[in-house]
Amino acid sequence: MLALGDELVPPDAPLAPGQIRVNNLYAITASVIKYGGEGHNLGIARDDLDMVQGALGQASDADLLVTLGGSQRGDFDLVDDLLSGARGHIIFREVAVNYARSMIFGPFGSIPLFGLPGSPMAAFVAFEAFVRPAIWKLGGRRILEAPRAEAVLTEPLPATTTRAHFQPVWVEYGPEGLTAVPLRVEKAVDLPPQTLANGLVYRLPGSQACQAGERVWVELVEGV
């Protein structure tokens, strides 16, 4: 796992104006370990293509590469450049999934690389939707779907648009069984998701609104 960005600093570093602590790098590393992988945190690379390539070169024996940030198409978003170069190949860029839209995927050398968005919520959704199944596949698991449970919504959910929607929820036991409490996120950067979400409600594009009291299927984050 490698985080990209001049603005990033380690979690224990003092913050200067315009800087961001890279907490989600450690959360994603912990998720890799939780799902059976051996997570290797490569730290932070600045917005320099040579530096990014050099950092990823330290992981030549890895089964998967995961970058955080730099997956969009701005001047300093380097994952597109990385996979467009001589050592890479873009299989897909952008997915029709809320939060995780700017994800990019392709091989860097011979190693599959998932370029996740940098914001914590977007990285969480992209990881659970795409990286977790890949880890399980490489680990020899035949069933790649996350465990599911039926739960009662405590609040309504709006209709979805043209994208698939992963709604983060907190699942807990109530007097009538499992309940799912939707986590309200105005922006994908507002939530430390691994600490506040233990499930995801997956909804297809064009789904109708769900009402409070309605039963839904929840994909459980392993360890719940």
Co-location of 87 and 156 in the same domain:
no
- Same domain assignment for residues 57 and 108: yes
- Report how far residue 105's alpha carbon sits from residue 112's, in angstroms, rounded to the nearest whole number: 7
- Same domain membership, residue 159 and residue 201: yes
Domain boundary among 75, 104, 138: 138
Same domain for 80 and 15:
yes
What pLDDT, on the 0 to 100 scale, is given for residue 224?
43
| pLDDT the model gives residue 127 | 94
Residue 118's pLDDT is what? 86
Same domain, 134 and 154: no
Shared domain check, 36 and 111: yes
**Whether residue 71 is found in the same domain as residue 154:** no
Q: Estimate to the nearest angstrom the gap between the alpha carbon of 38 and the chain centroid.
A: 17
Distance from C-alpha of 194 to C-alpha of 177, rounded to nearest angstrom: 23
- For residue 200, being part of any structural domain is answered with yes
Q: What is the CATH number of the domain that holds 16?
A: 3.40.980.10
If asked whether residues 166 and 103 sit together in one domain, one would say no
Q: Is residue 128 situated within a structural domain?
A: yes
How far apart are the C-alpha atoms of 42 and 46, rounded to whole Å?
Answer: 12
pLDDT at 223: 53
89, 114, 88: which is closest to 100 by C-alpha? 114
Domain count, the chain: 2
Q: What's residue 134's pLDDT? A: 97
| Domain stop point among 138, 167, 199 | 138
- According to DSSP, residue 112 is labeled E
Residues 111 and 188 in one domain: no
Pair 103, 174 in one domain: no
Residue with tokens 């009538």: 176
The pLDDT assigned to 192 comes to 59
pLDDT along the chain (224 residues), means of 10: 91 87 88 92 91 90 93 70 86 90 92 92 91 96 93 95 92 90 66 76 95 96 63
> How many Å apart are CA 94 and CA 71, to the nearest integer?
9
> Do 173 and 204 belong together in one domain?
yes
The answer to whether the pTM exceeds 0.95 is: no
Beta strands in the chain (DSSP E): 2-4, 8-9, 20-21, 44-45, 65-68, 92-93, 104-108, 111-116, 148-153, 165-174, 177-182, 199-203, 215-220
Same domain, 8 and 70: yes
pLDDT value for 148: 94
Name the residue with tokens 């994208």.
163
What is the domain extent for residue 156?
A: 148-220
